[in-house]
């Protein structure tokens, strides 16, 4: 194994081994959580180095057991996968540190978080569709348990809903994989892409629809969104950050990998559907978010709207569209991480962090969210001419206006309005923010918000990485020429 290949195994290997060993220890002790955070940090550093190598030299491949390529199970890191792994592990690390500072209450918590990280990094860097499913299930089942963290009744209910709905989604995905295997006779992404391009569209189109539906469910798009608010609103701050900042990336990555990369022809046929779903999500999410009072509820509905933009960018396609989709996914998960973590505690620094996060979601310039909105805007103008293009620009603009509105509303409710006036204790209960967290947690949240601001002020690396990821798709990636 070369040095790059060893590096490729680190993000999965380190978190996995630690997850298993920490499961035996009492996770409520601070040092156990710290070891977990350290493991995540090692994983993050190796992903950074890997990202650097991959963007410079192209994909790194490792076939398990030293088999020939096409025979053994392939691990493959390219710019697209590494970008998603990088941002997901960043959010998970932040959530883990946050929880260590606030105080872990479950002995299994650090181990479960590590399992989510291991599953996610494996999923983003596998070259085998069945392994994708297995890693998907590893991170999903760990997150089902995490949703019930703190064991309030509504959290257990949330976990139940989350588990049932997403289990249905993964079964549908599994059926899609089995069907792909039937028509292509292979599980290797590269081979699948080559062979589906030769098949007639009819059968592959059905399979593509099944797989896309599974990812739509995972993303929480408009008609598939019903489970999302119940889960995101009830979850503890760090868990909600992991769910919406890291786990939801599976959906956008899956659509980019399976849709744009493996089945580009089928995605092309479904462009109108994808576009309509994206538009419906933007409008629905924004309207619901505007009408809610509670900060985490607003953010849960806003999450539905935000994935709509990713879908729009995906439907537009081409270099601009795919770059916008990757860029928006990255920025979106950082936004969500900051906002959900900040919603759990209070204090001036946290307030500032929340404001930065919320306004980044709205797309106000200094924050990174502006870049995402800008990229989608650009894609809408350049990618689609005529009436459709104009309609998309109008939609993106309208969605942006709404997200500005609800961001400002929460800001006003949560931070500007003076506390209890004593007149309406019932209503004021809604407005009193939660407990003041320990200083370390507050600095952490603020630091993460500064990263968001920094990426907005110095966007070159982010844009470069997103372009490299889009190039992977366009240059064929696994598939042939699009």
Partner 1 sequence: MNLLTALVVAVIFASGTFLLLQRDLTRVVVGIILISNAAALFIVSSGLLRGEAAIYPLDESGLTGQGIADPLVQAMALTALVIGFALAALILVFVYRLFASQGTMDLEEVAEAELRDARSLDLADDPEREELPSEEQDDESYEADAEREGRTPR
Summarize as ranges the residues that interact with partner 1 (CB under 8 A).
Answer: 26, 105-107, 130, 133-134, 137, 141, 144-145, 148, 150-154, 156-157, 159-160, 163-164, 167-168, 171, 174-175, 178-179, 181-182, 187, 230, 233-234, 236-237, 294, 344, 429-430, 432, 434-435
| Min dist. Cβ of residue 131 to partner 1 (A) | 10
Q: How many CB atoms lie within 10 A of CB 433?
A: 19
Q: What is the per-residue DSSP string for 88-102?
A: HHHHHHHHHHHHHHH
Contact 180, 264 (CB under 8 A): no
Q: What is the per-residue DSSP string for 243-272?
A: IIIIITHHHHHHIIIIIIII-HHHHHHTHH
| Min dist. Cβ of residue 202 to partner 1 (A) | 17
| Min dist. Cβ of residue 175 to partner 1 (A) | 5
**The tokens of 427 are what?**
């209503």
| Min dist. Cβ of residue 237 to partner 1 (A) | 8
Quote the CA–CA distance of 424 and 427 in Å, as a whole number: 5
- Pick the closer one to partner 1 by CB: 52 or 67: 67
430-431-432-436 Cα dihedral, nearest 10 degrees: 110
| Min dist. Cβ of residue 78 to partner 1 (A) | 25
Separation in Å, CA 351 to CA 104, 264, 313, 323: 23, 43, 31, 31
Contact 178, 211 (CB under 8 A): no
What is the sign of the dihedral through the CA atoms of 265, 270, 274 and 275? positive
| Min dist. Cβ of residue 178 to partner 1 (A) | 4
What residues pair up with 196 in beta bridges, in sequence order? Answer: none
């Amino acid at each position: 194994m070369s040095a790059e290949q060893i590096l490729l195994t680190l993000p999965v290997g380190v978190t996995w081994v630690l997850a298993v060993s920490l499961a035996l220890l009492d996770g409520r002790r601070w040092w156990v959580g710290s070891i977990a955070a350290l493991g995540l940090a090692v994983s993050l550093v190796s992903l950074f180095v890997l990202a650097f190598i991959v963007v410079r030299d192209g994909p790194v491949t490792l076939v398990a057991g030293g088999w020939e390529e096409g025979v053994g199970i392939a691990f493959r890191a390219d710019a697209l996968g590494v970008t998603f792994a990088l941002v997901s592990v960043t959010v998970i690390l932040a959530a883990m540190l946050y929880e260590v500072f606030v105080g872990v209450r479950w002995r299994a918590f650090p181990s479960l978080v590590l399992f989510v990280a291991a599953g996610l990094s494996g999923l983003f860097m596998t070259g085998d569709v069945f392994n994708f499913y297995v890693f998907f299930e590893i991170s999903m089942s760990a997150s089902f348990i995490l949703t019930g963290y703190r064991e309030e009744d509504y959290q257990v209910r949330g976990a139940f809903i989350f588990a049932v709905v997403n289990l249905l989604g993964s079964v549908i995905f599994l059926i899609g994989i089995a069907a792909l295997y039937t028509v292509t006779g292979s599980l290797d992404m590269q081979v699948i892409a080559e062979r589906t391009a030769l098949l007639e569209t009819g059968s592959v189109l059905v399979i593509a629809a099944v797989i896309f539906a599974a990812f739509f469910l995972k993303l929480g798009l408009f008609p598939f969104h019903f489970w999302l608010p119940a889960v995101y609103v009830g979850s503890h701050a760090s868990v909600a950050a992991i769910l919406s900042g890291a786990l939801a990336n599976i959906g956008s990555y899956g659509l980019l990998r399976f849709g744009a990369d493996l089945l580009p022809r089928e995605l092309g046929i479904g462009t109108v559907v994808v576009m309509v779903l994206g538009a419906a999500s933007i409008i629905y999410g924004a309207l619901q978010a505007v009408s809610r009072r509670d900060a985490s509820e607003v953010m849960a509905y806003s999450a539905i709207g935000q994935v709509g933009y990713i879908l729009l960018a995906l439907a537009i396609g081409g270099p601009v569209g795919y770059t916008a989709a990757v860029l928006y996914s990255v920025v979106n998960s950082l936004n969500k991480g900051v906002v959900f973590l900040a919603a759990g505690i209070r204090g001036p620094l946290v307030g500032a962090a929340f404001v930065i996060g919320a306004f980044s979601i709205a797309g106000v310039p200094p924050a990174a969210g502006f870049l995402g909105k800008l990229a989608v805007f650009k894609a809408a103008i350049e990618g689609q001419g005529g009436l459709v293009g104009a309609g998309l620009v109008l939609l993106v603009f309208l969605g942006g206006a709404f997200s500005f509105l609800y961001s400002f509303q929460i800001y006003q409710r949560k931070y500007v309005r003076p506390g209890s006036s004593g007149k309406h204790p019932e209503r004021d209960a809604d407005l009193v923010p939660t407990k003041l967290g320990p200083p370390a947690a507050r600095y952490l949240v603020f630091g993460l918000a500064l990263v968001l601001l920094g990426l907005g002020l110095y966007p070159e690396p982010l844009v470069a990485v997103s372009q490299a990821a889009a190039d992977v798709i366009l240059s064929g990636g696994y598939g042939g020429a699009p």
